[in-house]
Amino acid sequence: MDEKINELIEYSKKGILSKEIVKNNKLNITLFCMAKGTEISEHTSTKQGFVYIIEGDGLFNLEGKDITMSSGVFIYMKDNATHSLKADENTSFILVLTNS
């Protein structure tokens, strides 16, 4: 598979778009595009993974610790880690989850 991720980025007026890049029995890779002012409320995932911020500005809260979301930031999440997100500007990121 050959994808130019930057060409897949698009923002809705007030929402969150997600685009599945790869999904199989071991790996799930999704592009998320959060419009300015949108939030993803606190939740967990049963899988470990990471987030890689492509562009934007926002706040990622991981188990009570605030992490600034800006281009190039890498965030590792263990399984069942509580987290939430808020986009202060249009923000895009790759989410990678793995099956152990």
Number of domains in the chain: 1
Mean pLDDT of 53-81: 97
Residue in this structure with the two tokens 């190039």, named with its chain if needed: 72
Q: Is residue 42 part of a domain?
A: yes
Would residue 5 be called left, alpha or beta, if left means φ above 0 and alpha means ψ between -120 and 50 degrees? alpha
What sections of the chain are H helices per DSSP? 5-8
pLDDT, tens digit, 9 for 90 and up, residues 16-66: 999 999 999 999 999 999 999 999 999 999 999 999 999 999 999 999 999
C-alpha dist (Å) from residue 87 to 3, 52, 64: 24, 14, 17
Is the pLDDT at 100 greater than 70, yes or no? no
pLDDT at 65: 98
pLDDT, position 14: 85
Residue 58 sits in a domain of what CATH number? 2.60.120.10
What confidence score (pLDDT) does residue 92 get?
A: 98
Is 60 inside a domain boundary? yes
Whole-structure pTM value:
0.92
Cα separation values, 80 from 34, 39, 41, 51, 97, Å? 22, 19, 15, 15, 12
